Amino acid sequence: MTAKASRQPLSRERVLAAAVVVADAEGIQALTMRRLAGDLGVEAMSLYHHLPAKEALLDGVVETVIAEIDAAVGRLSANGDGEDWRTRLRGQFLAARQIMVRHPWMPALLGTRRAIPVGLYAYYDGIVGTLLGAGFSHHLAHRAVHAFGSLPLGFAQEVFSPAAAGGSMEADVAEADLAAMAGALPHLTAMVAMEMHDGSDPTLGWCDSQLEFEFTLDLLLDGLERLRDQNQVKS
Amino acid sequence: MTAKASRQPLSRERVLAAAVVVADAEGIQALTMRRLAGDLGVEAMSLYHHLPAKEALLDGVVETVIAEIDAAVGRLSANGDGEDWRTRLRGQFLAARQIMVRHPWMPALLGTRRAIPVGLYAYYDGIVGTLLGAGFSHHLAHRAVHAFGSLPLGFAQEVFSPAAAGGSMEADVAEADLAAMAGALPHLTAMVAMEMHDGSDPTLGWCDSQLEFEFTLDLLLDGLERLRDQNQVKS
DNA sequence: ACCTGAACACCGTTCAAGT
DNA sequence: ACCTGAACACCGTTCAAGT
């Protein structure tokens, strides 16, 4: 499907880049060793000269995307120096989100990794540094990192929109389900009806919009700021 | 490995229950059709009389655990009727967490599902009902549901503890990594050092403890309550 | 109706062999 | 050093056949 690659020799980087292209185009389940090799104009077994196993390939793919985020965050830090801690973190998380939208398979893939992607450490060190610089205690900074969850990586847990698995998102199916269950689920259907009336968020299926993301983020930032100020007063 | 099942005929329920047992004992990657059939004392192809495909098996496994949560939440609701909305939701989420701890493969599996488990709707209808009953607007209740993320299901996004993939958790590996990178990651290592001094949370690897979960939960409940009261004043 | 055996297509991976 | 072909073990799944 994809055009055969030019005749430059294979490398770990080229393999990983091609893997990301496959996942972006057809989902993570389309990423097989044989398929990837085919895209690179090579036999499947050649990949094992640059990566020891499929698991290592997937680890590398995750690292590649994390590196994208690190680079984007680095570019942000280069500019806004006098920024408030909140606008700084906010900008970083939203930049990560822009990248994540292009790699919708990342949340699910990240969940299957056994080791922590090393690129994450640098990113989180910066986040903790920002918090400490803004007067947070080490303890509260620690709690904050956990409270953020996956927001620094640009996505939120999406219990109600599992499109990430790699397929078309089926908003209308969910809508049909809801209509059928209207009697049994009065509160949920009323809520959805009200929200659809407003027009902004049509279905529970794709509510992880920019707005929802920013709402949750601001809710957490507000709460953390309040806790920081309480602690300062107390001591 | 597991003892052969007694000679009662197979059923969808028995298959799903056995699947949960396999996943609990050896991780989700050990759950193959042939292995599961073997545990049930049957040939792999017999499973297809009760489930159309592996995907349906996994969907069923997810539904089984959601049903566990629904049952536990139902038991809670039967008792505490005069409860405050916060203690009510708090109790439900913590009950879900108790179940999730026994099925650590659930977060990752849930991420791979394409359809929303139907059992979730009843649970979330109750949550929305509790919020509406406490004076939340439909709009704020909607935002709240998204802000909660996976907390109602008893887990938080665990970027730094990917043990869920199904293997032993490797806290010491992470510790060694951190030690090696101490120079490059000053803020993170300082934070970890401070927190280890306290003794409660030894490593970033397993910080999704009860305490972290409750902290994040209370942070969100506080923020939502504040927004609700602001809106009431405004209107 | 429920279960089985053999077979198929497709994986990841090993290994000996090519250049 | 890098790539290849054949083969192996293991998947999910189909199908015709058993009872």
Question: Helices then strands (H, E): number in chain B?
Answer: 10, 0
* CA distance readout (Å), B180 to A100, A127, A142, B176, B177: 29, 20, 20, 6, 5
Look at B51 and B177; give whichever has higher pLDDT. B51
- Distance separating alpha carbons of residues B107 and B156, to the nearest angstrom: 9
Q: Tell me the CA–C1' distance in angstroms for B14 and D19.
A: 23
Q: Which helix (H) or strand (E) holds A197?
A: helix A186-198
pLDDT, tens digit, for every residue of B150-206? 999 999 987 876 554 444 444 444 555 656 678 899 999 999 888 876 655 444 334
* CA distance readout (Å), A101 to A47, A61, A88, A130: 28, 16, 20, 25
Weakest mean pLDDT among A152-156, A174-178, B19-23: A174-178
The pLDDT mean for chain B works out to 85
Weakest mean pLDDT among A57-71, B119-133, B150-164: B150-164
pLDDT at A7: 56
pTM score, whole prediction: 0.89
Measured in whole angstroms, the distance separating CA B8 from the mean position of its chain's CA atoms is 32
Q: Tell me the CA–C1' distance in angstroms for A34 and C9.
A: 14
Residue B50 beta carbon within 7 A of nucleic strand C = yes
DSSP secondary structure letter of residue B160? T
pLDDT at B174: 54
pLDDT, tens digit, for every residue of A73-87? 999 988 767 789 999
pLDDT, tens digit, for every residue of A28-47? 999 999 999 999 999 999 99
pLDDT at B210 over 50: yes
Check B216 against A146: CB less than 8 A apart.
Answer: yes
Nearest nucleotide to B47, CA against C1' atoms: C3
| Confidence band of A209 (pLDDT split at 50, 70, 90) | confident
pLDDT at B233 over 80: no
Weakest mean pLDDT among A161-165, B2-6, B175-179: B2-6
pLDDT at B91 over 80: yes
pLDDT, tens digit, for every residue of A122-159? 999 999 999 999 999 999 999 999 999 999 999 998 78
pLDDT at B9: 78
Q: CB of A192 within 8 A of CB of A155?
A: no
pLDDT, tens digit, for every residue of A190-204? 998 888 766 554 443
| Min Cα–Cα distance to chain A from B124, Å | 7
Measured in whole angstroms, the distance separating CA B162 from the mean position of its chain's CA atoms is 13
Could you say which of A122, A181, A212 has the minimum Cβ distance to residue B121? A181
| Confidence band of B84 (pLDDT split at 50, 70, 90) | very high
- Distance separating alpha carbons of residues B115 and A168, to the nearest angstrom: 11
Could you say which of B114, B115, B129 has the minimum Cβ distance to residue A187? B129
Could you say which of B122, B139, B185 has the minimum Cβ distance to residue A122? B185
Could you say which of B138, B162, B224 has the minimum Cβ distance to residue A113? B162
Among B50, B64, B58, CA closest to B10: B50
Instruction: Please report residues of A whose CB lies closer than 8 A to that of B121.
Output: 177-178, 181, 184-185, 188
Helix (H, G, I), strand (E, B) or coil at B214: helix
Instruction: Please report residues of B whose CB lies closer than 8 A to that of A160.
Output: 116, 120, 124, 145
Nearest chain B residue to A157 by CA distance is B149
Helix (H, G, I), strand (E, B) or coil at A4: coil
One-letter amino acid identity for A206? W
**Angle, vertex CA A123, rays to CA A122 and CA A126, nearest 5:** 90
Q: Tell me the CA–C1' distance in angstroms for B34 and C18.
A: 38
From the CB of residue A200, how many other CB atoms can be counted at a distance below 10 Å?
11
Mean pLDDT over B100-126 rounds to: 92
pLDDT at A172: 43
pLDDT, tens digit, for every residue of A96-120? 999 999 999 999 999 889 888 999 9
- Distance separating alpha carbons of residues A95 and A89, to the nearest angstrom: 10
| Min Cα–Cα distance to chain A from B105, Å | 10
Q: Tell me the CA–C1' distance in angstroms for B9 and C5.
A: 20
Could you say which of A111, A120, A147 has the minimum Cβ distance to residue B107? A111
**Angle, vertex CA A137, rays to CA A135 and CA A140, nearest 5:** 115
pLDDT at A204: 37
pLDDT at A2: 42
Check A187 against B126: CB less than 8 A apart.
Answer: yes
Domains delineated in chain A: 7-52 (1.10.10.60)
Check B108 against A111: CB less than 8 A apart.
Answer: yes
What percentage of chain B has pLDDT greater than the value 90?
A: 67
* CA distance readout (Å), B221 to A31, B125, B216: 41, 18, 9
* CA distance readout (Å), A1 to A27, A29, A136, A139, B21: 15, 16, 52, 52, 42
Instruction: Please report residues of A whose CB lies closer than 8 A to that of B165.
Output: 111-114
- Distance separating alpha carbons of residues A194 and A188, to the nearest angstrom: 10
Weakest mean pLDDT among A166-175, B36-45, B151-160: A166-175
pLDDT at A192: 86
**Residue closest to sugar C1' of D15 by CA:** B45
pLDDT at B196: 74
- Distance separating alpha carbons of residues A232 and A214, to the nearest angstrom: 27
Q: Tell me the CA–C1' distance in angstroms for B41 and C4.
A: 13
Q: CB of A31 within 8 A of CB of A22?
A: yes
| Min Cα–Cα distance to chain B from A2, Å | 26
Residue A28 beta carbon within 7 A of nucleic strand C = no
* Residue A91 tokens, joined: 């900008």
pLDDT at A176: 58
Residue A90: which residues within 8 A CB-CB, separation 6 or more?
A214, A217, A218, A221
pLDDT at A5 over 70: no
| Min Cα–Cα distance to chain A from B7, Å | 36
pLDDT at A9: 78
- Distance separating alpha carbons of residues B220 and B77, to the nearest angstrom: 22
- Distance separating alpha carbons of residues A32 and A30, to the nearest angstrom: 6
DSSP secondary structure letter of residue B27? -
Mean pLDDT over B140-158 rounds to: 93
Q: Tell me the CA–C1' distance in angstroms for A52 and C19.
A: 23
